[in-house]
Chain A
Amino acid sequence: MVGESGSGKSTLARAILRLEDADSGAAFWKGQDLLAMSPAALLGVRRQIQMVFQDPTQSLNPRMSVYQLISEGWDIHRLMPDRSERQVRVRQLLEQVGLSPEHASRYPHQFSGGQRQRIAIARALALEPELIICDEAVSALDVSIRAQVIALLDDLRERLGISFLFIAHDTGVVRDFADTVIVMKAGEIVERGPTEQIFSAPSHPYTQRLLAAALDPDPDVQAQRRLLATAQA
């Protein structure tokens, strides 16, 4: 899902997860409307849909160790009562996201931004979800770390078969990662379709402008494009 800042991408994600109340409409998950669900039914769905937030510094409770952070979901959903089993699983999860198992007893402030986001991903994976919503999950990270985290997510998607709802304003990231793209503007979906189609033949003028606004890695091409754009205007 792409769109400019303020286009309502995050709000849509938050509405799906019932962090914000939707005024109207419906969001269907396996045939059930998430927005009209009873608290008890919602608790079940909370296991299946997890979220990775934009800023891992804020989304991890600074007073909880990595072990506590990752195992909190099991406490909430009364899973895995056995402590040793939990410890093994936390270690596995940490390895899965590319951290070392010894990190379990540390606290979030002892990690770098990219590592923290890995912890957040491990936390999301702990409940074995079917869908992970990534709200700008990589935009707070610097470029090299961003590539690593995206590679990690890609790997998880292939190995574990998890679906991702990936929210970004960076069209390049989306192009690499997504199968289907939704373009949003001012709270509306203006275009949706398979990634190649959106990127090669965008039909909506906003999508065309959005793609044109993305910087090209080649400065010469970029200069050419800028000339073209000013000529058109």
Chain B
Amino acid sequence: MSDLSTAIPPAPTKSRVTPLLAMLWRDKLAFVSAIVLVIIVLFALLGPALLSDLATSQNLRGRNSPPFDLAQGWAFVSGGDSLGRPMLARLIVAARSTMLVAAGTVLAAMVVGAVLGLLAGYLGKHVSQAIMRSADVIMSFPSLLIAVIVLYVLGPSIPNMIPVLAITRIPIYLRTTRAEVLEVRQRMFVQAAVVMGASNGRIILRHILPVVAPTLVTIATLDFAFVMLAESSLSFPGIGIQPPDITRGLMVSRGRPYLTTAWWLAFWPGLLIVITTLSLNLLSNWMRVALDPSQRWRLEARSTKDE
């Protein structure tokens, strides 16, 4: 950590990245969150390549072996699962599928929901009605039913799961975006842009989206945890992630029957889900402040405050 603190101090250079890093350094919680997320991403990128053999090798003597016991080797430091596979390796390997499904779903839902919400909020009544009523249709449809139908037809795989899960999350973003756009479009600075002759696209992208975006990002980070668990509910009818692929949500739901005898089966993946979500949330909170000119001073060096 010591070399980091010397590498990042506020050296106001011309580049755009350095002040951003300096602001990140100033918010210690966000800084730690960023590091945690980088580690998780590294797990997701490298884990499967390095540890997938270890994660699938069964050692029946290590079945449900308790954590912090090195008798079975270092991989069992966080315990073994019900088939005697090392939890640590499985947790690391699971990062890839988990992040792929969660990030893919949340991003897809957020982008589609935001675009439709902006259109529904800004363009006329008819567009809005059409979009909102289709959202109502999606919301009234049992999401598990869509999932069952689609995944039985197309086969269970991560690329198929992402759109299925995303569709069920779209209305949340759509409705939030639309509600905010309806309010923001009445603000004077939007009207001022209209008077200057700004096009609809320009008004939406330059004036409305920046106001709405922080809300969306906050919802997205909270949604991350929801999706990680929702994905595991798909494996109940057998259309979720297929073994040997693993996700954290799946590990939680597989560990649930053993909660009284082997708590670590559900605890570790659950803890990782919490940590990931919390990190994302703290980071998004930092981002909201860092990107808002009227709040940014909170993160800027005290020495520049009296410029």
Task: State the A residues within 8 Å of B (CB).
Answer: 17, 19, 42-43, 46-47, 49-51, 53, 55, 58-63, 65, 72-73, 75-77, 107, 109, 120, 123, 127
Contacts and interface: CB of A to CB of B under 8 A. Distances in A.
B195 A107 contact: no
A73 B294 CA distance: 23
Contacts of B207: 61
- Interface-central residue, A60, A62, A75, A107, by most chain B CB under 10 Å: A62
A62 B196 CA distance: 17
B298 interface: no
Interface string B185-212: 0011101111111110010001100110
Contacts, number: 63
Contact of B198 (A17, A42, A47, A76): A76
A43 B193 CA distance: 12
A49 B206 CA distance: 22
Contact of A19 (B194, B210, B293): B194
Contacts of A62: 189, 292-294
Contacts of B198: 72, 76
A75 B199 CA distance: 11
B189 A61 contact: yes
Interface of B: 187-189, 191-199, 202, 206-207, 210-211, 292-294
Contacts of B294: 62, 107, 109
19 contacts: A17-B195, A19-B194, A43-B197, A46-B197, A51-B192, A53-B191, A53-B192, A58-B187, A58-B188, A59-B189, A61-B207, A63-B292, A63-B293, A65-B293, A72-B193, A72-B196, A72-B206, A73-B197, A109-B293
B233 to A, nearest CB: 40
Contacts of A51: 192, 195
Contacts of A63: 210-211, 292-293
Contacts of B202: 75-76
B196 A58 contact: no
